[in-house]
Amino acid sequence: MNKFLNALPEPERAQLESLLVPVALRAHQALAKPGPAPRHVYFIDRGLASILATGHGHEAEVAMIGSEGVVNASLCRNARCSLLVRMVTPGIARRIELDALLRIAGAGSKLQVVLQLYLQAQMTAQCQSALAAARGTIPQRLARWLLMAEDRLGAQLFVSQERIAALLGVRRPSVTNAVAQLREAGVVSQLRGQIQILRREELLRLAAPFYTPAASEANQAAAGVNPCEQQDARSVTLVS
């Protein structure tokens, strides 16, 4: 279930949910493209979306969105979209027309407050992505990516190492070498294409100061979510 929706008071959530349409999302499906604003806003229940900066034939991930968040929430009527949003994995979401969402998110509504807090948290994540790209090593950036993916997808993530490399904006051998470094340090184990996170605290140490848990400030403020209360051992599957 979408944590953003769960953070809303029952009356506003019920009003919003009455207008939501369930949709299945394909891996690599684009939810937004540079150009005119997309018609729909997506509340992701399961799956992982990537916000990508693009230019001159290149692209790199600047933020992730999973069941903690909402896609296209920052757009306004007649605004142009400057980023590409694409599904990394298959997923399930509920969508609403942008105009309908803007009507509900009127002045003084809790929805407006939670949206503002969520967008603030997303901006922080994008700034951390820029800092990681500029100052982080490949192992640090991979550790951050694994933590972010784990927060949003839980036990397993089916994605190729080539895809992770593309999202990080690095060559695939760099990701392969970084996984090997983490395995040799006992931070992860790898078996039959599966990476098992053994020492989450070491990933946290390695990824700092580039990582913020997936639960947004909006969820924490409205629902008291503590993103740090997570199990130490989760598994992430990489399909080469």
CATH code: domain of residue 184: 1.10.10.10
Q: Which of 128, 146, 169 is the last residue of a domain?
A: 128
Q: Over the stretch 108-156, which tens digit does the pLDDT of each residue have? A: 688 888 888 888 888 888 888 899 999 999 999 999 999 998 888 875 6
Contacts of 3 (CB under 8 A, 6+ apart): 67, 68, 69, 215, 216, 219, 223, 225
Reported pTM: 0.83
**Please, what's the b/e burial string for 183-207 (b: 16 or more CB within 10 A of its CB; e: otherwise)?**
eeeebbeeeeebbebbbbebbeebb
pLDDT at residue 193, as a whole number = 58
pLDDT at residue 156, as a whole number = 66
Residue 85 domain-assigned?
yes
> Which CATH number goes with the domain that contains 18?
2.60.120.10
Q: How far is residue 225's CA from residue 214's CA, in Å, rounded to a whole number?
A: 10
pLDDT at residue 42, as a whole number = 95
The answer to whether residues 116 and 20 belong to one domain is yes
pLDDT at residue 214, as a whole number = 61
pLDDT at residue 218, as a whole number = 41
| Residue numbers of the chain with a pLDDT score lower than 50 | 215-219, 221-234, 237, 239-240
The answer to whether residues 228 and 111 belong to one domain is no
